[in-house]
Homo-oligomer: A and B are copies of this chain.
Amino acid sequence: MHDRDELISELGEIFRENGFAGTSLSEITARTGLGKGSLYHFFPNGKSEMAEAVLHNIDAWFQENVFIPLRESDDALDGIDDMFAAVNAYFDSGNRICLVGAFALDNTRDQFLQEVSTYFSDWISALANALKRSGFAAAVAKSMAEEIVLGIQGALVLARSQEDPKIFTRTLKRLQQRIAATDHA
């Protein structure tokens, strides 16, 4: 581990693979090469604080690479295209799950309720904003945004269940095409 950002990034991968409850300090020491002393030096509150840091990093990444472009791109449709490209890269073409979605499903959610909740609500509202700017009525935009974000989450679940990441990539394509195919009146 060279710096804190790289450490947090690796912590994210460990949580993705094992879940929050399924991740042990001993696995973290093995994967990061850092002893418990070092880990508690960086994160005095232990595993919870590590997960908080990971969630914060995820939020920062999506703010920078997805939410702000969606809200501020000159051409709203370009911003949406960029979102699909960024999401495809982030989830490694269907080979990487969404940690926030995984946390949402069991009682891990309650420990990180704020982060879990705003991750998705920020995403949906930024996407709805772009859809609205591209010509959709507000209600239609909101509904489409919800459908797209939820479709991405479902595709990640299904892709992993079938060990077939292509389910994810073709879902992204379908969602993207539906925007183009829907009447912009």
List the interface of chain A (C-beta within 8 A of B): 16-22, 97, 100-102, 104-109, 116-117, 119-121, 143, 146-147, 149-158, 160-163, 167, 171, 174
Cα–Cα distance between A162 and B100 once the two chains are bound (Å): 12
Q: Is the CB of A158 within 8 A of B146?
A: yes
| A154 partner, pick from B108, B154, B162, beta carbons under 8 A | B154
| A19 partner, pick from B22, B154, B155, B160, beta carbons under 8 A | B22
| A22 partner, pick from B22, B101, B120, B121, beta carbons under 8 A | B22
| Beyond known contacts A18-B106, A151-B151, A152-B154: 14 more, CB 8 A cutoff | A16-B106, A19-B21, A19-B22, A20-B22, A22-B22, A97-B105, A119-B161, A120-B158, A120-B162, A121-B162, A143-B174, A147-B151, A149-B158, A150-B158
State the Cβ distance, A117 to closest chain B Cβ, in Å.
Answer: 6
| A17 partner, pick from B19, B104, B106, B121, beta carbons under 8 A | B106
Q: Is the CB of B117 within 8 A of A106?
A: no
A-B pairs with beta carbons under 8 Å apart, 21 shown: A18-B106, A22-B22, A22-B106, A22-B107, A22-B108, A97-B106, A100-B161, A102-B102, A102-B105, A104-B158, A105-B105, A105-B156, A109-B160, A119-B161, A146-B171, A147-B174, A149-B158, A150-B154, A150-B157, A150-B171, A153-B153
State the Cβ distance, A33 to closest chain B Cβ, in Å.
Answer: 21
State the Cβ distance, A13 to closest chain B Cβ, in Å.
Answer: 12
Cα–Cα distance between A17 and B171 once the two chains are bound (Å): 29
Cα–Cα distance between A64 and B115 once the two chains are bound (Å): 39
Cα–Cα distance between A4 and B16 once the two chains are bound (Å): 34
